[in-house]
Amino acid sequence: YSRQRVTLETRDPLQRGNTFIGQGSRFGGIERNASEFINAQVRLFSGSFNRTEVENRYLSRLEQVVGTGANSVGSAIQRFFDATQELASNPAGVPERQALIGEAGALVTQSEAIDRTLRELGSELNANIRASVDEVNQLANNIASLNGRLRDLTNASPGGVPNDLLDRRDLWLRELASKMDIDVLPQASGAVDVFVGQGRSLVQGSVSNQLLTESMPGNAEQLRIIVDGVPPQALGALSG
């Protein structure tokens, strides 16, 4: 929530003898009305919503191949073992043998489809993580640069408030919060420090730290995100 409104000041009246004549009003400035509490709540719920949306998107696709009810992989496994029991009860039965072969083939086909889907989802997820990391780094650079401008303007004009820059800062913070969990620490100048994970600095003053991706030890197909070369203990969800 943020809006700007013009403030007016009463002009000094003119005195004519014992009479004072009003001179109307004059421009007093532009006041920015913003609620940091509401902005923080918007960032919080935006990040939560986007994480849930990403999880649902991938889980829905996985559910399609894993199946539900009679079409689930669990049901396929159960049918395979039922066919095994039927053949064990009648080892010479041709129908039982054919049923077991059919159920085994169906289970193998479904298992291969699940494996293929998991690999495709893993590759897609890694690509989205890399793209999201690039976007986070760009936003962090933007916020750090803006912090420098806010500091310089505040020093050059004490008491002045660069409203448009503050609105732009809040917009970038919302975009950043939609991609990962962040903690924001406002400064007197209007600048903000941004932290991720367990207090790791992403933006501090006019300096931004970069997120990087690397393969997990022992699992080259799974990525993890690091800040300045140090793996965070809990960086938080990254939405892509």
The H helix count followed by the E strand count for the chain is 4, 10
Report the pLDDT value the prediction gives residue 18, as an integer from 0 to 100. 75
Query: What value does the mean pLDDT take over residues 59-78?
Result: 80
More reliable by pLDDT, 230 or 111: 111
Round to whole Å and give the CA distance between 78 and 93. Answer: 20
Which has the minimum average pLDDT: 32-36, 154-158, 218-222? 32-36
Is residue 132 predicted with pLDDT exceeding 70?
yes
Task: Give phi and psi for 31, each to the nearest 5.
Answer: -105, 135
pLDDT digits (tens, 9 = 90+) for 200-240: 889 999 999 999 888 888 888 888 888 875 655 445 455 55
Residue 181, pLDDT score: 87
Which has the closest alpha carbon to 2: 148, 171, 152, 117? 171
- pLDDT recorded at residue 231: 55
Most trustworthy range by pLDDT among 153-157, 163-167, 172-176: 172-176
Closest CA to 236 of 48, 9, 13, 15: 48
Mean pLDDT of 74-100: 90
What is the predicted pLDDT for the residue at 30? 60
Q: How far is CA 224 from CA 6, 48, 120, 214, in A?
A: 48, 20, 18, 6
- Is pTM beyond 0.75? Reply is no
pLDDT at 33: 63
